């Protein structure tokens, strides 16, 4: 079956295609159309003219369209989960959880569409302002280009398309090469929901080939990108004065203070380190544990890791399946070996089993090792002991990244201190950095990017504030 791109409400099968294989067993899933720069220009032109329709659509209509997507997704949730599990190699239970979150994200978008508002300004607070009223409202920007990664192809698309439509923008969506089916599935739901033609365009193909055409077109008013820091930097350099949101990588850290309740936190930490084979932007990569509980924590963590079931993503029992590509498995294996040669010890794992890289626990890791200072984006976690809290905070902060950081402590003063001193977009007290619900402000500092998602915050970044004052 050959899947087309979705432009101006029409599916267009292209001459150039690429085969899409399932990451776990390599089975052929579909042939995907490869858009070229001309297709991208056509998609942007269509989105640009559809903006005339979208900007006039009342808020309740935009809300209804999003609510219809919610309803359809609820009705087709198992189908969506199976699709996601197949194309991303995501264990089916994890895939179902993502669909659940995607529904919530679109629900938030449907609600947010109705409450995009401004404020009144007390003009007479300044001398010379008397006798005037002042107020603001927010206006949509126009065409938004949304470039998405493979790891949450439903929910991260929802975090861009949801707020863009809620605000009255039009969208040109470029899904990751490995996960186009979920984006095309969503496009179908929006069409069924009555979204005007051209308001959501989906172009599939190589990011490297299409990147310039997507980013450099002056009709595009905003680029919202989630993916690697490397590509993010390239996009930012080309965006000029246009608005950009960048949701990039991380090597997320967690501090475990001596008063943490190990029974409750160990399963949570194991989940944070290995869910979707660690291919999560806020996957738990570095655990700093107070020396007084280090040994017990490590032993129990490894014990719990051994319980994980690895294998076929379609199996209901599977916790950890294959990584997205063979070359990714090779990359992480070479990083682990490099660490071992430099003195790290393997507490568990450290090898592959067919297409799956086993959940891996590393000990005696030094911060300059790639497995610590770079983003592993793989099922590999390191556990490091610390003596004093400041040392742990300093270790966590010694990173080019800063997305979410977690700390377990029962001490309020410690929690506040960590919240203040940790350099990150979010500090999660008494949970893993992998915690996210979809309306919280979410985004990074340093090379983790800038701008925030979490529907309300994304809407702010996808609208322009207009100020009006009237002299009475």
Which amino acids are annotated catalytic? 247, 281
SS3 of the chain: the string is CEECEEECCEEECCCCEEEEECCCCCCEEEEEECCCHHHHHHHHHHHHHHHHHHCCCCHHHHHHHHHHHHHHHHHCHHHHHHHHHHHHCCCHHHHHHHHHHHHHHHHHHHHHHHHCCCCEECHHHCCCCCCEEEEEEEEECCEEEEECCCCCCCHHHHHHHHHHHHHCCEEEEECCCCCHHHHHHHHHHHHHCCCCCCCEEECCCCHHHHHHHHHHCCCEEEEEEECCHHHHHHHHHHHCCCEEEEECCCCCEEEECCCCCHHHHHHHHHHHHHHHHHCCCCCCCEEEEECCCHHHHHHHHHHHHHCCCECCCCCCCCCECCCCCHHHHHHHHHHHHHHHHCCCEEEECCCEECCEECCEEEECCCCCCHHHHCCCCCCEEEEEEECCHHHHHHHHHCCCEECEEEEECCCHHHHHHHHHHCCCCEEEECCCCCCCCCCCCECCEECCEECCECHHHHHHHCEEEEEEEEEC
C-beta of 286 vs 290, nearer to ligand NAD: 286
Those residues whose C-beta lies under 8 Å from the C-beta of residue 444, and which sit 6 or more positions away, are 247, 248, 250, 401, 402, 403, 424, 425, 450
| Residue placing its CB nearer to ligand NAD in the complex, 156 or 165 | 156
Nearer to ligand NAD, 70 or 223 (CB): 223
Interface with ligand NAD, residue 227, by CB under 6 A = yes
CB of 258 to ligand NAD, least distance (A): 31
How far is residue 246's CA from residue 18's CA, in Å, rounded to a whole number?
A: 28
Joined together, the tokens standing for residue 197 give: 């033609």
Single out the residue of 69, 235, 255, 384 in contact with ligand NAD (rule: CB under 6 A).
235
Identify whether the C-beta of residue 8 lies closer than 8 Å to the C-beta of residue 46.
Answer: yes
Per CB under 6 A, 228 contacts ligand NAD: yes
By CB under 6 A, name the one of 16, 56, 208, 367 that touches ligand NAD. 208
What's the min distance (Å) between Cβ of 324 and ligand NAD? 7
CB nearer ligand NAD, residue 356 or residue 424: 424
What residues numbered 432-451 form the site for ligand NAD, per CB under 6 A? 444
Q: Rounded to the nearest 10 degrees, how much is the dihedral formed by the CA atoms of 336, 340, 255, 453?
A: -20
Q: Is 379 in the site for ligand NAD (CB under 6 A)?
A: no
114 counts as binding ligand NAD under rule CB under 6 A: no
Which residue in 6, 377, 408, 457 binds ligand NAD (CB under 6 A)? 377
**Beta carbon nearer to ligand NAD, 88 or 193:** 88
Q: Tell me: does residue 186 bind ligand NAD (CB under 6 A).
A: no
As measured in angstroms, the least distance from the Cβ of 375 to ligand NAD is 6
> φ and ψ at 159, to 5 degrees?
-70, -10
Q: Is position 183 an interface residue for ligand NAD (rule: CB under 6 A)?
A: no
Stretch that binds ligand NAD, among 150-158, 162-170, 341-349, 463-471 (CB under 6 A): 150-158
* Shortest Å, Cβ 278 to ligand NAD: 10
Q: 269 near 301, Cβ under 8 Å?
A: yes
Give the residue with the Cβ less far from ligand NAD, 182 or 226. 226
Site membership for ligand NAD, residue 234 (CB under 6 A): yes
Considering the rule CB under 6 A, would residue 39 count as an interface residue with ligand NAD?
no
- Restricting to residues 384-413, name those near ligand NAD by CB under 6 A: 403
Q: Which residues within the stretch 258-287 sit at the binding site for ligand NAD (CB under 6 A)?
A: 281
User: Which string of x and - marks every residue 151-180 that binds ligand NAD (by CB under 6 A)?
Assistant: x----x-----------------x-xx---
Closer to ligand NAD by CB, 190 or 377: give it: 377
Residue 135 or 435: the one with the smaller Cβ distance to ligand NAD is 435
Residue pair 3/181 in contact (Cβ under 8 Å)? The answer is: yes
CB of 134 to ligand NAD, least distance (A): 36
- Binding to ligand NAD by residue 247, rule CB under 6 A? yes
- Phi, psi for 9 (deg, rounded to 5): 80, 5
Residue 198 binds ligand NAD (CB under 6 A): no
Residue 251 interacts with ligand NAD (CB under 6 A): yes or no:
no
Closest approach, Cβ 25 to ligand NAD, in A, equals 21
Q: At its nearest, how many Å lie between ligand NAD and the CB of residue 235? A: 6
Q: Does 231 help bind ligand NAD (rule: CB under 6 A)? A: yes
C-alpha distances in Å from residue 154, one per residue of 118, 135, 355: 31, 37, 24
- For ligand NAD, the closer of residues 249 and 406 by Cβ is 249
Convert residues 304-343 into a mask of x (bound to ligand NAD by CB under 6 A) and - (unbound). ----------------------------------------
| 239 in contact with ligand NAD (CB under 6 A) | no
CB of 44 to ligand NAD, least distance (A): 14
Binding site for ligand NAD (CB under 6 A): 147-151, 156, 174, 176-177, 207-208, 211, 226-228, 231, 234-235, 247-250, 281, 375, 377, 403, 444
């Amino acid at each position: 079956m050959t899947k087309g791109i979705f432009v101006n409400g029409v599916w267009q099968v292209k001459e150039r295609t690429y085969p899409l294989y399932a990451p776990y067993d390599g089975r052929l899933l579909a042939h995907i159309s490869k858009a070229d720069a001309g297709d991208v220009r056509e998609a942007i032109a269509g989105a640009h003219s559809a903006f005339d329709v979208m900007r006039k659509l009342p808020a309740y209509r935009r809300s209804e369209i999003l609510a219809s997507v919610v309803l359809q997704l609820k009705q087709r949730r198992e189908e969506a989960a199976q699709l996601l599990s197949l194309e991303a190699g995501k264990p089916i239970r994890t895939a179902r959880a993502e669909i659940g979150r995607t529904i919530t994200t679109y629900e938030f978008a449907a609600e947010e569409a109705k409450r995009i508002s401004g404020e009144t300004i007390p003009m007479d607070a300044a001398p010379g302002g008397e006798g005037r009223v002042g107020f603001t409202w927010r206006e949509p920007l126009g065409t938004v280009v949304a470039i998405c990664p493979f790891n949450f192809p439903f929910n991260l698309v929802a975090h861009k398309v949801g707020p863009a439509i809620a605000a009255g923008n039009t969208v040109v969506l470029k899904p990751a090469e490995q996960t186009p089916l979920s984006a095309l599935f969503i496009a179908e739901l929006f069409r069924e929901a009555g979204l005007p033609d051209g308001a959501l365009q989906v172009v599939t193909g190589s990011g490297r080939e299409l990147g310039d055409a997507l980013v450099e077109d002056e009709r595009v008013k905003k680029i919202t990108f989630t993916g690697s820091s490397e590509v993010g930097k390239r996009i930012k350099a080309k965006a000029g004065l246009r608005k950009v949101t960048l949701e990039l990588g991380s090597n997320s850290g967690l501090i475990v203070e001596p008063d943490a309740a190990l029974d409750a936190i160990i399963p949570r930490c194991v989940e944070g380190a290995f869910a979707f084979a660690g291919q999560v932007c806020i996957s738990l990569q570095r655990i700093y544990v107070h020396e007084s509980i280090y040994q017990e924590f490590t032993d129990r963590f490894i014990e719990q890791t051994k319980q994980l079931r690895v294998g076929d993503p379609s199996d209901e029992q599977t916790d950890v399946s294959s990584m997205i590509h063979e070359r990714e498995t090779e990359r992480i294996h070479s990083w682990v070996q490099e660490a071992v040669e430099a003195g790290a010890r393997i507490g568990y794992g450290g090898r592959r089993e067919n297409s799956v890289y086993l959940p891996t626990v590393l000990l005696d890791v030094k911060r300059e090792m790639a497995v610590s200072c770079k983003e592993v984006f793989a099922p590999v976690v390191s556990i490091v002991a610390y003596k004093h809290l400041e040392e742990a905070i300093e270790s966590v902060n010694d990173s080019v990244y800063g997305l979410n950081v977690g700390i377990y402590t029962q001490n309020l003063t410690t929690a506040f201190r960590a919240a203040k001193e940790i350099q990150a977009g979010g500090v999660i007290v008494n949970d893993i950095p992998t915690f996210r619900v979809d309306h919280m402000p979410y985004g990074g500092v340093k090379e983790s990017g800038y701008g925030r998602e979490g529907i309300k915050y994304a809407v702010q970044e996808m609208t322009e504030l207009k100020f009006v004052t009237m002299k009475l």
